[in-house]
């Protein structure tokens, strides 16, 4: 059986149908619908495949329009919007069953020198000093809704260690701040394009979930609906997704059935390597039976 990491690498390795047309497979990771990070990573992989070296992605801005079907592949249509003297732009449209489910714009730049500054990395325990989370006992897992069992009873390609663990099965109200160490579970190749696609995939974890912290709710509750609406990602400095990275997240606002979250990704030595922003839908519904009708989020 292939490992979760090798399955993810395969997932991000798209089939080229034409010069600007690609096809990616879908995976069921327990979320009922296609995981948003999968579409982000595949869309970036498609855009990168049309880019001449040495230009590297520095930003991506995306909108999730429809839930993806995990039983069918997704076609990615890349528009080579602009190739300038130093920057290039690609617009990627994801299509499934003849409908657009997602689109994004990605910008690329040739390496240049310039002024630099960044905030300090938060002072947190080293990942080696944080014990991995204990698995949920089978007898407890069996009492949870099916959608929660499918999400929790799986071995993913990334390892996460929470600086301040939260019990999402019985969430208490707390400030909207979240700090999580993460890394790919196995060592992979050195290609920076692969590591950017892997980070795009992982960046969809934990963002929207942080917006629920002040309200004592979580996706695991049967009356809660959550789904990503958009996603912004900026790459600042080189990194490896198979080395520990700190995801420092905060949520400045929730309103109108939407929540906003911001993230900063630091390397273990304190360099700010990426930033993220995401807004998502958050609804607490009267009828718990309808809560599973929208895409699941972390």
Gap between the terminal Cα atoms of the chain: 26
pLDDT tens, the chain, 298 aa long: 789 999 999 999 999 999 999 999 998 877 778 999 999 999 999 999 999 878 999 999 999 999 999 999 999 999 999 999 999 999 999 999 999 999 999 999 999 999 999 999 999 999 999 998 877 777 777 777 666 666 666 678 999 999 999 988 889 999 999 999 999 999 999 999 999 999 999 999 999 999 999 999 998 888 899 999 999 999 999 999 999 999 999 999 999 999 999 999 999 999 999 999 999 999 998 765 555 554 444 4
Environment class of residue 274 by beta-carbon count within 10 Å: exposed (0-12), middle (13-18) or buried (19+)? Answer: buried
C-beta neighbour count of 206 within 10 angstroms = 21
Which residues are known to be catalytic?
204, 228, 278
Encode burial over 172-200: b for 16+ CB neighbours within 10 A, e otherwise: eeeebebbbbbbbeeebeeebbbbbbbbb
What domains appear along the chain, each with residue ranges and CATH number? 4-110+131-293 (2.40.160.210)
pLDDT at 187: 96
* pTM score of the predicted model: 0.92
Cis status, amide bond into 54, omega within 30 of 0: yes
């Amino acid at each position: 059986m292939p490992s979760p990491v090798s399955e993810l690498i395969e997932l991000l390795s798209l089939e080229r149908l034409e010069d600007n047309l690609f096809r990616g497979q879908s995976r069921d990771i327990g979320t009922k619908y296609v995981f948003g990070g999968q579409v982000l990573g595949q869309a970036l992989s498609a855009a990168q495949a049309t880019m001449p070296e040495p230009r590297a992605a520095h930003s991506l801005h995306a909108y999730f329009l429809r839930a993806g079907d995990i039983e069918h592949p997704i076609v990615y249509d890349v528009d080579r919007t602009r190739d300038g003297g130093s920057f290039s732009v690609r617009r990627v449209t994801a299509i499934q069953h003849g409908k657009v489910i997602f689109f994004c714009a990605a910008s690329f730049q040739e390496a240049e020198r310039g002024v630099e500054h960044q905030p300090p990395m938060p002072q947190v325990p080293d990942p080696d000093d944080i014990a991995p989370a204990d698995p949920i006992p089978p007898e407890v897992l069996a009492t949870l809704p099916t959608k929660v069992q499918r999400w929790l009873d799986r071995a993913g390609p990334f390892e996460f260690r929470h600086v301040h663990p939260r019990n999402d099965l019985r969430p208490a109200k707390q400030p909207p701040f979240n700090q999580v160490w993460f890394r790919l579970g196995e060592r992979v190749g050195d290609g920076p394009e692969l590591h950017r696609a892997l980070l795009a995939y992982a960046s969809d974890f934990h963002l929207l979930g942080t917006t629920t912290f002040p309200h004592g709710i979580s996706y695991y509750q049967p009356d809660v609906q959550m789904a990503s609406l958009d996603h912004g990602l900026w790459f600042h400095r080189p990194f490896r997704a198979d080395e520990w990275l700190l995801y420092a997240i905060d949520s400045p606002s929730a309103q109108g059935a939407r929540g906003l979250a911001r993230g900063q990704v630091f390397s273990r030595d304190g360099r700010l390597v990426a930033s993220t922003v995401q807004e998502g839908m958050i609804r607490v519904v009267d009828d718990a039976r309808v809560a599973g009708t929208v895409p699941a989020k972390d």
